[in-house]
């Protein structure tokens, strides 16, 4: 309800005005999707999702065991996409990657020199 609508009601002699203070309820939690990279073709789907703003946890273990060269090509393709959109990509252990859109960044521990 606009301010002038409220003020108009008071001028009309109403003693009180009911104001609806209920806000639109939206889920403001951050969504992290768990995905698999089983072959090079999967990288297209993952690229699209990170470009759309999804944060992805990507399991790479199966492709790593099957074809290391294909894994390297897929990871390089995903890395270039993340760099192009100002996102981030990082390995988590030996079996997972995390890909983020520009709105998120992977925290990395500072190494003691």
* Long-range pairs of 59-62 with CB within 8 A, sequence gap ≥ 24: 59/34, 59/35, 59/95, 59/96, 60/95, 60/96, 60/97, 61/94, 61/95, 62/36, 62/37, 62/38
Q: Which domain holds residue 43?
A: 32-100
Instruction: State the CATH number of the domain containing residue 51.
Output: 3.30.110.150
Mean pLDDT of the chain: 85
Mean pLDDT of the 2-17 span: 58
Predicted structure pTM score: 0.71
| pLDDT confidence bin for 24, thresholds 50/70/90 | low
| pLDDT confidence bin for 72, thresholds 50/70/90 | very high
- Asked, for residue 6, whether it belongs to a domain, the answer is no
Mean pLDDT of the 11-23 span: 64
């Amino acid at each position: 309800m606009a301010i002038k609508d409220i003020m108009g009601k008071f001028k009309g002699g109403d003693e009180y005005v009911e104001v609806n203070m209920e806000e639109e309820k939206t889920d403001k939690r951050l969504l992290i999707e768990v995905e698999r990279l089983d072959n090079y073709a999967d990288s297209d789907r993952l690229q699209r999702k990170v470009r759309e703003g999804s944060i992805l946890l990507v399991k790479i273990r199966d492709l790593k065991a099957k074809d290391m060269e294909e894994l390297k090509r897929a990871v390089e393709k995903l890395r270039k996409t993340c760099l192009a959109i100002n996102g981030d990509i990082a390995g988590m252990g030996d079996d997972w990657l995390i890909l983020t859109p520009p709105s998120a960044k992977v925290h990395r521990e500072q190494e003691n020199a």
